[in-house]
Structure 1
């Protein structure tokens, strides 16, 4: 591919990380950026994610060979409508990074296809608890699924052009129907966020009468509700553009809760055992422990004593290994001072850390 101009619309975590991935394999490409807030524009320029940046969406559109819309879903649809009115290059390719696909693809068919503009939907299934250009990570999408959804506006060259452009992400590219995408993600992404926030809201209300709820919420509860910290605006947008699939998942889940409630009420131990065993076996068979989905991180837990410099000692051992997050869980065990939780992005980093800590410290180490 000769030198191209890529216009990344939205310089948050996803857009800025896409820019880094494109730079890795195509250092000669010209990358332009749009962002409404000045802070992310300044960071993207200072760190070299983009060559130029603007807060006027239409300014760079006509210069671009590829336009990537990495903004919230409703804004993506608004920009698709606007692009249909802008004199773009005849060979321009437009894509997006939205978490729901049907509404965006329908907008592309309604507005871009009549204008002869090439479009293919995109969804990089990776994320982080961090946000903004400051959190950009060239390895964010490594081994994660990057989903493409063709529409009536998609021309034959769209997929090979885009996979070449995004080769530096080191992602796993896959094509799927937009409606099927929304059905699948409603089960494994959208509904779990509803469930996590429901659990947190329930626990928060319960804690008013039972304050120790806040102290004892460890282990499984922590892992199940981590995603409840996600940005509310984004998830409101996702549910508003995928309502039918999410409502169907909620209804089906309610029937499962009713079923296990009946088994508990009837003291049907065999049914309860099968309920847990099926869940256990199903989880073992899924790709949950592979880097193939949103926030697919790996955690290590270290029982640490209450001694000076213990944490610094462990971090020094991990020098050269990429760490995503560090957390001290210290209010939920009576027999030890604390549990140090360290999160890694890849299984390789996790395994290296486990080996180093086990070989050079006397502390108990557990991995997930």
Structure 2
């Protein structure tokens, strides 16, 4: 396809990583960026993430063949209204990166003209414990699900064109109805965040009277509550734009808790065994990436590309250190990137590994 001008609104982790991936797949494309923060714009320009950047969203929109909205959900819907009043290129493609889709799609279908604009809802299911333009990573979406939700303003040709534009991301593209997307993600993404935060709230209050709760909480509890550290503003917007599906999941979960409580009250050993066995088998059937729940206070995270022998090379660098655990987070790379997570027994080994990998490779390395 002919060289295009891509306009990315929001130069944080997602927007910056999208820009890098587009440039990798189409080095001849012109990539423009919008961000209100001076610092993010400066970093994006210094790193070559974008060719030009502005703090005035309307300034670059008329120049674009493709506009990608990588801002919070509420701001995405506000920018759709702004775009409706601008003189855009004929048949410009507009898409977004929001974690909920139905409200955004409805907003686009109400305000954007089908004679002038093509709109596709999008949800790249990747993220990180890092944020901002400084964290942008060309490999962020590698092998991650990248979901498209068709609209009344799009057709198969629109999505095919987007797949070509985004080919440098090396993502796994999939199409799904916007309403079904929100139903599915309410179960496997949105409700789990509520559950993780509820567990942390419960444990924090319980620890007021039972101090050792703070010391014993590790392993399985750590893994179940990791996502409670997610950014509150983002998750507030997600819940409020998917409220019905989320409320249904909460109600359903309450019923399931009541049922297992009844089993315990009744001393129904067989029912309790069946309860745990069903959960175990269901997890196996879902083919969720298995990982050990090993306790460690010294953890290293390495962003690695999906290439042969990468992990072997890193492990060779760590000869002589005492590893507790190693795993990849996670198979579909939702919430955090496909990060190699390595746990050590001592702070000394952690420091050695951080310095060694940073020196011998160009992979981003982080501690937490």
TM-score range, shorter chain: 0.7 to 0.9
Counterpart in the other structure of 2:13? 13
Q: 1:39 and 1:300, CA in 2 relative to 1: closer, same or farther beyond 3 A? A: closer
Unaligned runs of 5+ in 1: 328-368
Partner of residue 184, structure 1: 184
The match for 1:304 among 340, 345, 355 is 345
TM-aligned CA distance change 1:317 to 1:47, over 3 Å: closer
- What is the distance in 2 between the residues matched to 1:88 and 1:302? 51
Inter-partner Cα distance in structure 1 for 2:89 and 2:216: 59
Partner of 2:307: none
Q: Is the partner of 1:49 in helix, strand or coil?
A: coil
1:203 corresponds in structure 2 to 203
The residue that corresponds to 1:66 in the other structure is: 66
Aligned-pair RMSD on alpha carbons?
Answer: 1.9
Secondary structure of the 2:89 match is: coil
1:288/1:296 contact within 8 Å kept: no
> 1:358 maps to what in 2?
none
Note if contact 1:119-1:155 (Cα within 8 Å) is conserved in structure 2: no
CA contact (8 A) 1:116 1:153 kept: no
1:1-368 aligned at under 5 Å gives the runs 1-114=1-114, 116-289=116-289, 291-294=331-334, 295=336, 297=338, 302=343, 304=345, 309-315=348-354, 319-320=360-361, 322=363, 325-327=366-368
Q: Give me the whole-angstrom Cα distance separating, in 1, the residues matched to 2:129 and 2:345.
A: 25
TM-score, normalised with respect to structure 1: 0.84
Question: 1:287 Cα shift?
Answer: 3.7
> Which residues of structure 2 form unaligned runs of 5+?
290-329
Give TM-score scaled by structure 2 length.
0.84
Cα pair 2:91 2:116 within 8 Å, conserved: no
What is the deviation of 1:134?
0.8
Shift of the 51–297 alpha-carbon distance from structure 1 to 2, 3 Å rule, reads closer
1:280/1:15 Cα in 2 relative to 1: closer, same or farther (>3 Å)? Answer: same
Distance 2:341 2:2 in 1: 44
Shift of 1:104: 0.5
